[in-house]
């Protein structure tokens, strides 16, 4: 009889344990949250880190979230920030696992947390993911950013939404007069999210003193801006910037950005801030892509002299891991399709005059059969040259940096066309291959484990090295890690190639990913 009672009690306790894991409760400064279990970790989704930036709060710095009564359901993602609607067939090679899902709303300042433990005493390292998308699209809920698998490595993973496009980066003389600067609302959102993490992450088992910021593409540009922003100082200890060249971190000129803002007001007929803030979101979204604003207009972080003061430099006491993919330009640049010697020469003249002959000698194409590979190598090296330029501009006594080039193509019918395309490393880093409809193999999973090991080591310690992985030396011109089907430490660029890119930049030239 006693054994039966013990068995019943054991079953009941097991059921209670399962229930507790399935519906974990957490207390934040704003109120209690009820989460869920996901791949053997705890998940809390759709957590507001700021008040909805709507109505009178549109185009204002983020405001602390309102407290709530009772327990808030944190089992579903919050809305993605307003952005153009896209589908996977229109944005090859990105398929649905790379795209934000509806609903979309201005009420979108949410973050998501995955954690292996909830006790504050655990003090686990934390990574805050800042998504890419050209500052115009994306979301913290994108499938390849799901943090459960990375959290299994003893890391608290946070993904963040921030205001995008015209909603996040509108500059205007009217806003300047009101606030002393404008055009950086999306970046202010990122700082607010980091402040929320600092104040609340201990309740999720995380250590607020061991936060790494990580971003890809526009997210990587954000990482560089946060390294320079006084308002972000003390909010993170390490930084990872994927697929971003130092040359791409320049802020949009204030006068140019404000001229675009004035056009928005003129075209919409809204001549006051109250009128602009009263416009429906869908109308503003339409103005964002209206050709009357100008050709190739984009809403980007603005040099307002406030978020990043004039002359501010990136803090040098933060270890940084950064690099690029070999074929970043494959989905963006028409140069990727160059196949004739004549077109290649035109590319050199357009990009590198008056040094085009020097680059032609360093990247020779003896016949047209050699042109495509030569062009692609030049584009890949341009991105790497940006990393080298960033490294050379740092204080010699700066914290260590680690550079890489990623070379493994995602498999499938588009691999030959797009190869290691922009953002293709992301599902490997997050361990989210299962969300992709591609013929992944054991080789893909092994590369994913390798990247996760390096990234997790860096998130824990500021150094990617650890047991079971090849030694990754700190960055200099000769110490890039090649990550992919082959793994090795290599200079990537010859001495003469580095010198040519250096001279090109010194002469006022520009290099970048694409």
Catalytic residues, by residue number, are 217, 328, 422
Question: SS3 helix, strand, coil % of the chain, rounded to 5?
Answer: 45, 15, 40
Whether residue 354 is preceded by a cis peptide bond, meaning omega within 30 degrees of 0, is yes
Query: Which run of H or of E encompasses 26?
Result: strand 25-27
The sign one gets for the Cα dihedral 218, 224, 226, 228 is negative
* CA dist 178 → 175, 269, 273, 312 (Å): 5, 20, 9, 24
SS3 track for 90-126: HCCCCCHHHCCCCCEECCCCEEEEEECCCCHHHCEEE
Task: Return d(Cα 7, Cα 409) in angstroms, integer.
Answer: 53
Nearest 5°: CA angle at 164, between 61 and 176?
Answer: 40
Pairing of strands 110-115, 41-48: antiparallel
Task: Return d(Cα 198, Cα 210) in angstroms, integer.
Answer: 10
Nearest 5°: CA angle at 138, between 134 and 139?
Answer: 140
User: What φ, ψ does residue 48 adopt, rounded to 5°?
Assistant: -75, 125
Burial of 282 (0-12, 13-18, 19+ CB in 10 A): exposed
Nearest 5°: CA angle at 186, between 182 and 188?
Answer: 75
Nearest 5°: CA angle at 128, between 57 and 26?
Answer: 80
Of 418, 165, 130, 433, whose CA–CA distance to 301 is shortest?
A: 165
Task: Return d(Cα 450, Cα 152) in angstroms, integer.
Answer: 15
Task: Return d(Cα 97, Cα 435) in angstroms, integer.
Answer: 6
Task: Return d(Cα 43, Cα 324) in angstroms, integer.
Answer: 30
Of 232, 196, 49, 214, whose CA–CA distance to 131 is shortest?
A: 214
The residues near 410 (Cβ < 8 Å, ≥ 6 apart) are: 93, 420, 421, 424, 427, 436, 438, 444
Partners of 44 in beta bridges:
113
Helix axes 218-228 and 185-200, enclosed angle (nearest 10): 70
**Residues composing the chain:** 514
**Is-contact 417 330, C-beta < 8 A?**
yes
């Amino acid at each position: 009889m006693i054994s039966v009672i013990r068995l019943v009690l054991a079953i009941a306790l097991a059921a209670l344990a399962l229930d507790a894991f399935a519906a974990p409760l957490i207390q934040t400064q704003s109120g209690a949250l009820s989460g869920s279990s996901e791949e053997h970790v705890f998940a809390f989704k759709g957590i507001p880190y700021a008040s909805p930036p709507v109505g009178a709060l549109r185009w204002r710095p983020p405001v602390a979230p309102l407290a709530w009564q009772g327990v808030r359901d944190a089992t579903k993602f919050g809305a993605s920030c307003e952005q153009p609607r896209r589908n996977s067939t229109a944005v090859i090679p990105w398929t649905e696992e790379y795209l934000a899902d509806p609903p979309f709303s201005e009420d979108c300042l949410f973050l998501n947390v995955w954690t292996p433990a909830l006790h504050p005493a655990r003090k686990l390292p934390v990574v805050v993911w800042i998504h890419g998308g050209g500052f115009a699209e994306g979301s913290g809920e994108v499938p390849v950013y799901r943090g459960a698998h990375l959290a299994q490595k003893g890391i608290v993973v946070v993904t963040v939404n921030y205001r995008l496009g015209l909603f996040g980066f509108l500059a205007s003389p009217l806003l300047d007069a009101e606030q002393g600067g404008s055009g950086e609302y999306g970046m202010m959102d990122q700082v607010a999210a980091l402040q929320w993490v600092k104040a609340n992450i201990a309740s999720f088992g995380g250590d607020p003193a061991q936060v790494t910021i990580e971003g890809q593409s526009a997210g990587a540009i954000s990482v560089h801006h946060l390294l320079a922003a006084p308002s972000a100082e003390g909010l993170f200890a390490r930084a990872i910037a994927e697929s971003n060249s130092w040359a791409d971190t320049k802020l949009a000129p204030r006068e140019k950005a404000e001229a675009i803002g004035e056009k928005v007001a003129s075209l919409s007929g809204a001549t006051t801030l109250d009128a602009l803030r009263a416009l429906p979101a869908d109308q503003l979204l339409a103005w964002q892509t209206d050709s009357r604003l100008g050709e190739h207009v984009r809403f980007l972080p603005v040099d307002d002299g406030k978020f990043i003061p004039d002359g501010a430099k990136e803090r040098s006491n933060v270890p940084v891991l950064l690099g690029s993919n070999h074929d970043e330009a494959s989905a963006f640049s028409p140069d990727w399709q160059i196949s004739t010697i004549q077109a290649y020469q035109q590319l050199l003249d357009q990009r590198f005059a008056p040094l085009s002959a020097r680059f032609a000698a360093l990247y020779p194409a003896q016949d047209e059969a050699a042109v495509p590979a030569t062009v692609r190598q030049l584009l890949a090296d341009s991105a790497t040259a940006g990393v080298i330029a960033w490294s050379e501009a740092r204080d010699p006594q700066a914290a260590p940096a680690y550079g890489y080039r990623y070379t493994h193509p995602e498999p499938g019918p588009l691999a030959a066309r797009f190869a290691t395309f922009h953002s293709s490393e992301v599902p490997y880093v997050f361990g989210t291959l299962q969300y992709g409809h591609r013929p992944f193999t054991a080789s893909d999973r092994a590369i994913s484990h390798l990247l996760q090991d390096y990234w997790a080591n860096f998130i824990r310690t500021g150094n990617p090295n650890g047991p079971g992985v090849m030694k990754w030396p700190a960055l200099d011109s000769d110490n890039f890690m090649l990550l992919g089907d082959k793994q090795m430490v290599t200079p990537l660029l010859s001495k003469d190639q580095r010198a040519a890119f250096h001279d090109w930049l010194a002469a006022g030239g520009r290099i970048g990913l694409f």
